[in-house]
Structure 1
Amino acid sequence: MATSCSQSTLEMLPDEILLEICKYLLCADILMSLIGLNYRITQMITNYRHHISLHKTSISKSDYLCINILPQIGSQIRTLLIDCCYSILQDDLFIEHFGKKMSIIFPKLERISLVSYEYNQLIAFIDTLHDFNYLVEIRLYSLFSIHVDNQSTVIRSLSQANNHRLTTILIDDRSSPLHFHHTDCYSNTIRLRITLRTSADLPSLFHAVPNVRYLDVELSESDDSLEYFGGLNLSPLFHLTYFQFKSIQQSWMLEELLILFAQLPIVRHLSLFLLTTDRRLIEGGTILPSLPFCAQQFDYAICFFDNMFVDQIDAIIASWSPSHRVTCFYQNPFLFIHTLPWHLARISFPELITKMISCRIKTDVKQWLQCNTVLCEQQFEAVYSNELHRLLIWM
Structure 2
Amino acid sequence: MRILGFPVQIRPGFVLFMLLIVVVNGQPMGSWLAGSVTLFTLVHELGHAVAARRTGATARISLDFLAGYASFTPTRALTRGERASIALAGPGIQIVLGMAALMVMGVNPLSPDDYASDYSSLAIWWAGPMIGLFNLIPVLPLDGGTIAGEIIDIFKPGRGRAIMARISPVATALAFVFMVLVEDLRPLAAFAAILLVLQMQMVSSRTPVRRGHSDAEDQAWRSGRPGVLVPPQVLSPWWEAHQLVNSGREEAAVAVVLDDLAGRRAGQWWPPHAATPAQLEPVVQRVVVRLPEPSPSDRTHSAAVLVDVLRRTGRPDVAAHYGSRVFALSRSGQVAILVARCSAALGDVENAAQWLTVAARSDAEPTLLLSTLVSAPEFARLRERPEIVDLIRALNSAG
Q: Which has the higher contact order (CA 8 A, sep 6+)?
A: 2
What TM-score, normalized by structure 2, do the two folds share? 0.30
**Richer in strand (by share):** 1
**Richer in helix (by share):** 2
